[in-house]
Amino acid sequence: MAIVFERTTGLTDKPFHYCPGCTHGIIHRIIAETMVEMGILDSTVGVASVGCTYNSYEYFSCDMVQAAHGRAPAVATGIKRSLKDKLVFTYQGDGDLASIGTAEIIHAAARGEKICTFFVNNAVYGMTSGQMAPTTLLGQVTTTSPFGRDASYQGYPINVSELIAQLTGAVYVERVSLTDYKNVMKAKAAVKKAFEVQMSGKGFAFVEFLSTCPTNWGKEPCESLEWLKEKMIPQYPLGCFKGADLDLEVKS
Amino acid sequence: MAQKRVLMKGNEVIAEAALRAGCRNYFGYPITPQTEVMHYMAKKMVQIGGNFVQAESEVSAINMVYGAAAAGARVLTSSSSPGISLKQEGISYIAGAELPAVVVNIVRAGPGLGGIQPAQGDYFQATKGGGHGDYRNFVIAPASVQELYELTVEAFNIADRYRMLVMILGDGTLGQMMEPVAYRENENIETYEKPWACTGRQGRSEHNIVTSIYIEPDVLEAKNRELQDKYALIESKEVRYEAIGLEDAEIVITAFSTCSRISRNVIRQAAELGIKVGMIRPITLWPFPSKIINETAAKSSVKAFLDVELNAGQMVEDVRLAVNGKKPVYFHGRMGGNLPTQKEILDKIIKIHEGGAV
């Protein structure tokens, strides 16, 4: 019988530890598949961060460096500067990237570091059990905003893609979701484009994935996808904020 | 062999030595009084096709160091006390991930922003870890510009040899002073294979991982034991110090770096007064030269120790541990960026010699 689908070699055999309904697994898969399809698995170094994906180095089968909380873009800078002919990506959550790592991500983008950042925004701290993130929506209940995020008390959500897109060094910025097959395919195309941008040497590439966290949202997986569509997308509109029409002729 | 000598500033010599050691990656953030290291690198790295990045913070700079080291490169960062405090997170991760890197601390007076004058108040921070967890840095304390050169080159060899962070602990005096330095024609660069480095798999059957997290307690404890075994090996093999006049010294000064230079003159002055003073100058602050201090304390000719530092008494604790009660250990320290005068130290020596209160 013909094999029509199998696990990508971009992932190891280790089963994911992610909760049911969490979209990290899909994001891992499409990044891994893209590396294999582009033939870059052997020439890519990934940077894992701190949060639920702290051990993503056990899943991605490319070389992987684990970084301190929020520091992945700085670590990636060090790797890329010393391995200019290799591809480097960071994989970061919203607490890691948009809170403790704000300086690192902004300046990596401003320097136009030739790296890709895959930013997973699920509007909550997952690993440490559901605290308010910089991307938590107004009114959203978390363990540290138990009465709902109140703008007068806890400020406003940060739209990271829009912020990054303001920086000249960032040449490709897109926000995607994983709510259905069509969007997963769009997300995968964005991953591919981010790597192509890096290969072209044009500058910093950033893809934001709107992601679910059923465990900390207190919702069923399907219900979580609906909540993402109804609540998150109005705050975080999907689309390409920069670089939609980039000429990506890869430098030889 | 000694070559033509050139007059250079300590900080610039550190940068030049790093380049000679094959370091092609520098990541830093401006802070006084180490800035010349950075200025030198900013120019030279561009000229030779290396990497110089002025990071957005010391936190980022040390994490760039972590990344470059993980990729197998020789890498340097330099800073001064408040900046080194910010780097402690990364320093702990570098220890945990066992990465080779060289960090320069041109120490200024603290605490807080303190001042920009020389001090040795970071001895505890440098030698006892500084960040979280059970780890050590290899800490070198040069006492001259020539030594800054030689020991900086050696720092890169040690870092690669043991996959660990080597800290060069200087101070504002050493970094800012100009002295003649003689460069070797051929550097002693030890090269080590780095099969663990994350360089892209390039056909390797297994992917490489650089990490400092081990969630399973037994695995983490085993990792810690490995680290401690490595540290024990280093303590048995890599201790360096200079000993002066221990054959017949009655009073032994312990002092490192700038304080050893002042003390060296005091030894001469004391001899003129008929007082036999020797000195043990630790060159490695960790591993600490405990053995020679302990053996010296056991000598009947030795009556007492005088530890001289630019702090409230930090290395003196290690001296006392090494002396282990065999002889009295006195202390003289200055803080805030002030240096002890030769007269201050000589007066202490005279009092100790007379058996008076110190």
User: In this predicted model, what pLDDT tens digit does every residue of B300-343 receive, in sequence order?
Assistant: 999 999 999 999 999 999 999 999 999 999 999 999 999 999 99
Domain ranges across chain A: 24-242
- CATH number, domain B242-354, options 3.40.50.920, 3.20.10.10, 3.40.50.2300, 3.30.1490.20: 3.40.50.920
Q: Do B208 and A63 touch (CB under 8 A)?
A: yes
Residues 6+ apart with CB under 8 A from B37: B11, B12, B14, B15, B28, B78, B104, B106, B175
Residue range B5-237, CATH number: 3.40.50.970
Preceding amide of B111 cis, omega within 30: yes
B339 at interface of A, judged by CB pairs closer than 8 A: no
Query: Which 3 state secondary structure label does DSSP give A215?
Result: helix
Taking a contact as any Cβ pair under 8 Å apart, which residues of chain B between 186 and 225 contact chain A? 198-203, 207-213, 215
Preceding amide of B33 cis, omega within 30: yes
Q: How far does the CA of residue B70 sit from the closest CA of chain A (Å)? A: 7
- DSSP 3-state percent helix, strand, coil across chain A (nearest 5): 40, 20, 45
Residue range A24-242, CATH number: 3.40.50.970
Q: Do B202 and A43 touch (CB under 8 A)?
A: yes
Domain ranges across chain B: 5-237, 242-354
Size of interface A-B (CB pairs under 8 A): 138
Q: Are the folds of B5-237 and B242-354 the same?
A: yes
A16 at interface of B, judged by CB pairs closer than 8 A: no
A160 at interface of B, judged by CB pairs closer than 8 A: no
For tokens 């320093």, the residue is B91
Q: How far does the CA of residue A58 sit from the closest CA of chain B (Å)? A: 8
Q: Do B75 and A12 touch (CB under 8 A)?
A: no
Position A197 confidence tier, pLDDT thresholds 50, 70, 90: very high
CA-CA distance, A212 to A223, in Å (whole number)? Answer: 10
Paired with B251 in beta bridges are B277, B304
Q: Do A62 and B65 touch (CB under 8 A)?
A: no
DSSP B119: -
Position B346 confidence tier, pLDDT thresholds 50, 70, 90: very high
- Among the partner residues B67, B202, B203, nearest to A74 by beta-carbon distance: B67
Report helix angle B342-354 to B258-272, nearest 10.
Answer: 50
Position B358 confidence tier, pLDDT thresholds 50, 70, 90: low
CA-CA distance, B355 to B352, in Å (whole number)? Answer: 5
Predicted-complex ipTM score: 0.96
Averaged pLDDT for residues A199-228 = 97
Position A251 confidence tier, pLDDT thresholds 50, 70, 90: low
Phi, psi of B241 (to 5 degrees): -160, 165
Q: How far does the CA of residue B143 sit from the closest CA of chain A (Å)? A: 31
B67 at interface of A, judged by CB pairs closer than 8 A: yes
Chain A CA closest to residue B198: A63
